[in-house]
Amino acid sequence: RAKEQGRNTFEFYTAEITDSVREQLAMEMDLRAALERNELTLHYQPQFDLSTMSVTGVEALLRWQHPKLGLLMPDRFVPVAEQTSLINALGAWVLQRACAQLRAWVDAGLEPIRMAINVSGRQVMYDHLVASVGGALEQYSLQDIAACVELELTESVLQTVEPSAEILNRLRSLGVRIAIDDFGVGYSSLGMLRHLPIDALKIDRSFIRNMPDDVNANAIVKAVISMAHALGLRVVAEGVETAVQLECLRELGCDDIQGFLLGIPMPAGEFQGLLQAAAAAPTHGQEAPP
């Protein structure tokens, strides 16, 4: 009887593992096809300069218009891609698409703005990243405004300082900027930042969410901002949802903010409309277009 039970348990586990592997494989194959079928798309969320409240940047966020499941958010499929080499093809697509969009907006007569592009850790460790960033800049003639392209990397990438610094330096020599995403939840020490060629920190949403009621969150945000400024880094707060949070961040001297309070991620056309409306609005009388 015990033997029988043991065998059943074994079979049960095997079936379960096989199921999740099968699901993973199915998702991976689906995603590979999605790349070819053009089902992926980028949405764009505005970033505002806190002192002028104008849009100075935008973050490109990946979406999958799945034929059966509808619009899928990146948390559903990016981790799957990250477990395989598919993340490199996916990342290359995102890079191309975002650069093409920046070029299209500039060609439409809009002031160049910062385009923040998420780069996964696996891409950074992949040899072709520097070449593919350089290639995208060249393909879309963005070399002169390469500083508008900001690559967002998460802290986990930077656990090994030396190889990271080398790659970041090579990226930087192309003229692009580097931001550390989700700052505060990873393991990078503040001291480590000193040794890395970084331009900006994005404070993780979890700290902003708890402002202003949680004194610890306030203290951390305050400390991160002053430390970043001391190191000459720009600070972006993500996940700003309330006017109170905005005011607190302003008081703390945060540079830029991003969040549902001011704008949700939207399709490219909608975002362009927002930029055009902002450009047409005469915020300063003398700067109104003729």
Residues forming the site for Mg ion (CB under 5 A):
118, 152, 181-182, 238
Interaction between residue 134 and ligand C2E (CB under 6 A): no
Strand partners of residue 57: 47, 114
Which of 27, 55, 72, 78 touches ligand C2E (CB under 6 A)? 78
- Residue 94 touches which member of Mg ion, ligand C2E, none, C-beta under 5-8 Å by kind: ligand C2E
Interaction between residue 75 and ligand C2E (CB under 6 A): yes
CB of 63 to ligand C2E, least distance (A): 7
Which of 88, 101, 118, 188 touches ligand C2E (CB under 6 A)? 118
Give the list of residues 6+ apart from residue 210 with CB closer than 8 angstroms, or none.
216, 217
- Among 93, 161, 88, which Cα is nearest to 120's? 88
Interaction between residue 260 and ligand C2E (CB under 6 A): yes
How far apart, in whole angstroms, are the C-alpha atoms of residue 75 and residue 78?
Answer: 6
Peptide bond into 212 cis (omega under 30): yes
The enclosing H or E element of 203 equals strand 200-203
For ligand C2E, give the closer residue by CB, 184 or 239. 239
How are beta strands 149-154 and 177-183 bridged, if at all?
parallel
Interaction between residue 71 and ligand C2E (CB under 6 A): no
For Mg ion, give the closer residue by CB, 152 or 256. 152
Interaction between residue 58 and ligand C2E (CB under 6 A): no
Token pair 């000459």 in the structure block, residue: 232
Burial class (CB in 10 A: 0-12, 13-18, 19+), 170: middle
**Which range, of 106-114, 219-227, 258-266, 274-282, touches ligand C2E by CB under 6 A?**
258-266
Cα 151 to chain centroid, rounded:
7
Footprint on this chain of ligand C2E (rule: CB under 6 A)? 45, 61-62, 73-75, 78, 91, 94, 118, 120, 152, 181-182, 205, 238-241, 258-260, 265
